[in-house]
Amino acid sequence: MSSELTLELSSKSFDGYQYVYSHDSFTVDCTMKFGVYVPTIADNECVPLLIFLSDLTSNEQNFITQTGVQRLASKYGFIVANPDTSPRGCNIEGDRDQRDFGEGAGYYIDATEDKWSNNYQMFSYVNDEFYELIIRNFNVDISRIGIFGHSMGGHGALISFFKCPGQYKSVSAFAPICSALKCEWSRNAFTKFLGQDETLWKEYDACELVSLYHGPMPYAPVLIDLGSNDQYKDDYLFPDKLLEACCNASFPIQLRQQIGYEHGYFFVMTFLEDHFKYHKNEFEHLK
């Protein structure tokens, strides 16, 4: 293990270990924590990697303590890594005033406004620094890497897939913010992070990016799950906009509305294995 990582937690779970590490990030200029589950099989061979991006207000703990992901990562033999959702402890005025902006709410974008641009570089952190950090320190099969996420993290997973063609072999999402240009949460954040020019905002909107995507196509339609009782779906998530955009771009997508389910981790926990199966299938059909 590289000296660049500091071990914060090591817990035996199923056939592997759940770890939490911290490291000094040069991209967001602060100490960042992340979770990573490593199955025992990775001691002897390279295994697939799934990167999970979490939702608003979450940190590196929520996903690993509220979904039972360790059982599935052990069963399928995947390394599963999950970064934090924003920089922490940067002491920027206003970064802790709202639940939908700042700490815990970095939206996986790279800020351009001076006040925020030194630290809030979460797109580059996830897709460059964190991505390379995991590959460098764990036994990852670099030909089988997927990304998925929940809510704000679902948005992050989709834009990462579209903006980094070929880097991720698969993508899926739980109740993602599908149109950041329309969502009140992200509009508030984008105004502060990116300024008033909405042409910059389009660079981080899944509905805009799918029309520009020219990378490898998925074997099966990208899996999106959404609860029918999700209190945010109509005013914040806009799944119909993503369906329309994917249809216009001839990009395959499967949006499943799960009857009776809401937005939180009980919903994610229920359908998490379906997403593992989806990514496993994509890895098995790599061209």
275 tagged catalytic: no
263 tagged catalytic: yes
Q: Exposure pattern of 211-225 as b/e (b: 16+ CB <10 Å)?
A: eebeeeebbeebbbb
| DSSP at 281 | H
Catalytic-role residue among 155, 225, 230, 279:
230
Catalytic-role residue among 155, 263, 275, 279:
263
Catalytic-role residue among 25, 86, 151, 160:
151
Q: Quote the CA–CA distance of 22 and 133 in Å, as a whole number.
A: 11
151 tagged catalytic: yes
Q: Quote the CA–CA distance of 287 and 278 in Å, as a whole number.
A: 16
Q: At what angle do helices 152-163 and 184-194 cross, to 10 degrees?
A: 60
130 contact partners, CB below 8 Å, separation of at least 6: 32, 34, 51, 81, 83
Biggest CA–CA distance in the chain, Å, is 51
Catalytic residue positions, numbered: 151, 230, 263
